[in-house]
Amino acid sequence: MTYLNFPKNFLWGGATAANQLEGAYQEDGKGLSVADVLPQGKDRFAIVNRPDFNWTIDKSKYRYPNHQGIDHYHRFKEDIKLFSEMGFKCYRFSIAWSRIFPEGDEKTPNASGLKFYDEVIATCLKYDIEPVVTISHYEMPLHLVTKYGGWKNKRLIEFYKHFAETVLTRYFKQVKYWMTFNEINSAWAFPVMSQGLVANNGGNDRQTIFQAWHNQFVASAWAVKIGHALDPKLQVGCMLLYATTYGYDANPVNQLATLQQNQAFNFFCGDVQVRGEYPAYTDALMADNGFKFTDLDFSAEELTLLKNHPVDYIGFSYYMSAVVETVEKEHAEVGGNLISGIKNPFLKASEWGWQIDPIGRRIALNQLYERYRKPLFIVENGLGAVDKPDADGKIKDDYRIDYLKQHIEQMGAAIHDGVDLMGYTPWGCIDLVSASSGQMSKRYGFIYVDLDDAGQGSLNRYKKQSFNWYQRVIASNGTDL
Ligand code: BG6
């Protein structure tokens, strides 16, 4: 049975992040960000976790594709026009913190940075596209890491608060939907992008990561508070990386391990941000990681702030599911969206090993909605694949259409189950630089960008086969798949 009954005001759109598409990494006063020092390659996280890593750019050894991105900084008008041609109702993008506060600790924002987002937002509105803004997406000013040590330092709360207040105040009349931190829970695996932590400044130490999370939770609650003071109707959400997690078999030991992995990875950050308090399993989780809650630096006022300012909705990414096995570890491991696990014999995987699981999405939606009873927003999903133009220059990405179609069907099924789903913004609606590998060849878009991994190409934009397909999907409100 297929259920495709999407609400009339369903937010169909697409998603990007500043550091992965804008480029212009030092233009108009922009400062360096953590993303700017991430070298290209599947080993980019291994490189930054070497003991001698010192946050510098070394062009003699590495390429840094984020510096150029897809040159969206100079082409955003053309790109947003293409989004509007597809019929986007919304467009999720992030504001580069280092464009607004180049070092992060300034009092006065960089006017040219603000001017850029004034224009991006105005362009969206010109086409009746609702902007959905991520305040911080894997891109913090580098200076906040080199001078303050990243998110483990409580001073970051005041710097983020100032940044959030600046952009919320400037844009609250035009932007209704916000998210505070992209994939906040991803720090379990790679804290460099969201917390500015690597092996040599605390990134290997769980207590440090939890301290950084606590500071981010407080900062996020400030953003909610400031947003609601400006306009109580503003929707400020969290953003989680969600990977539906299965136990390998009926062995209760594996099932218990699955429950614990869900608590730790999928739910811990959301529990605090949505419910406004640390969950019941906090002490157990921290004990398992070798420390106590009271070892963290927190205050009663901060806990009250968390309680009083939970998020309005749950934004999350869903690309794949994971399998947990703690007994008889005889089955092969596979990689994935910043997490790894056991290979699921029932699923196929992308070329990058991410296990494709549309039904897992229906399960994810039900799990999150049963737990939180707040609106959900799938703000990332998609298939990273190598697209090759054929002899006529056409990109026939039927594999992407097939992936998205199956995932949209499961979204419809979850709505049938009673889930309140606000919208859907597939990731990288225009090809952009991969977060985990810095590759251009890992493409998600409906729009092809002529640029290769070596930085060669015209940067021209071309519509893929999926462009017209998604246009039909939106025009039919999800019924014509
Ligand atoms: C999510 C991130 O993890 O997945 C995005 O929020 C990222 O920034 C996306 O790009 C896809 O991952 P990747 O590694 O294929 O770019």
Tell the residue nearest (CA) to atom 15 of ligand 1.
434
What's the pLDDT at 1?
81
Tell the residue nearest (CA) to atom 14 of ligand 1.
436
Count CB neighbours of 218 within 10 A: 23
Cα 435 to ligand 1 centre (Å): 5
Tell the residue nearest (CA) to atom 3 of ligand 1.
337
Mean pLDDT, residues 383-404 taken together: 96
Cα 283 to ligand 1 centre (Å): 31
How confident is the prediction for the chain on average, in pLDDT? Answer: 96
Distance of alpha carbon 306 from alpha carbon 219, whole angstroms: 9
441: pLDDT strictly greater than 80: yes
Cα 12 to ligand 1 centre (Å): 19
Tell the residue nearest (CA) to atom 9 of ligand 1.
435
What's the pLDDT at 342?
85
Residues forming the active site: 380
What's the pLDDT at 338?
57
User: CA torsion, points 33, 38, 40, 42, in degrees to nearest 10?
Assistant: -130
What's the pLDDT at 427?
98
- Candidates 241, 352, 436, 442: which one to mutate for ligand 1, based on the most atoms within 8 Å of Cβ? 436
- Candidates 134, 183, 337, 439: which one to mutate for ligand 1, based on the most atoms within 8 Å of Cβ? 337
**What is the DSSP secondary structure assignment for residue 427, as one 8-state letter?**
B
Instruction: Please report the atom of ligand 1 found closest to the CA of residue 442.
Output: 15
* Token duo for residue 53: 């890593």
Task: Specify which residues 279 forms β-bridges with.
Answer: none
326: pLDDT strictly greater than 90: no
User: Under a CB-based contact definition with an 8 Å cutoff, are residues 237 and 311 in contact?
Assistant: yes
Tens of pLDDT, residue by residue over 333-370, are 666 655 667 889 999 999 888 999 999 999 999 999 99
Q: Which percentage of the chain shows pLDDT scores above 70?
A: 97
What's the pLDDT at 332?
67
Cα 317 to ligand 1 centre (Å): 9
197: pLDDT strictly greater than 80: yes
Between strands 341-342 and 333-334, the pairing is antiparallel
Domains and CATH numbers, the chain: 11-475 (3.20.20.80)
Distance of alpha carbon 243 from alpha carbon 336, whole angstroms: 10
Q: Which amino acid, residue 117? A: Y
- Candidates 387, 427, 434, 440: which one to mutate for ligand 1, based on the most atoms within 8 Å of Cβ? 427
Instruction: Please report the atom of ligand 1 found closest to the CA of residue 138.
Output: 8
Cα 392 to ligand 1 centre (Å): 30
Cα 389 to ligand 1 centre (Å): 23
Kindly list the protein residues whose Cβ atom lies closer than 6 A to any atom of ligand 1: 17, 20, 138, 182-183, 241, 317, 337-338, 380, 384, 427, 434-436, 442
H-helix or E-strand spanning residue 445? none
User: What are the backbone angles phi and psi of residue 236, rounded to the nearest 5°?
Assistant: -115, 120
Mean pLDDT, residues 19-38 taken together: 98
Tell whether ipTM is more than 0.95.
yes
Tell the residue nearest (CA) to atom 8 of ligand 1.
435
User: Under a CB-based contact definition with an 8 Å cutoff, are residues 426 and 418 in contact?
Assistant: no
Q: Give the pLDDT band (50/70/90) at residue 330.
A: low
Q: Give the pLDDT band (50/70/90) at residue 394.
A: very high
Mean pLDDT, residues 68-89 taken together: 98
Instruction: Please report the atom of ligand 1 found closest to the CA of residue 183.
Output: 6
**Cβ contacts of 310 within 8 Å, gap of 6 or more:** 221, 224, 273, 274, 275, 276
Q: Give 248-314 as a DSSP string.
A: SSS-HHHHHHHHHHIIIIIIHHHHHHHHSS--TTHHHHHHHTT--GGGS---HHHHHHHHH---SEE
What's the pLDDT at 341?
76
H-helix or E-strand spanning residue 12? strand 11-15
Tell the residue nearest (CA) to atom 7 of ligand 1.
435
User: CA torsion, points 286, 292, 293, 298, in degrees to nearest 10?
Assistant: -130
Q: Give 304-367 as a DSSP string.
A: HHHHH---SEEEEE---EEEE--SS--SPEE--SS--EE--TT--B-TT-PBP-HHHHHHHHHH
Distance of alpha carbon 201 from alpha carbon 145, whole angstroms: 9
321: pLDDT strictly greater than 60: yes
Tens of pLDDT, residue by residue over 122-146, are 999 999 999 999 999 999 999 999 9
* Token duo for residue 286: 């921290």
Mean pLDDT, residues 44-64 taken together: 97
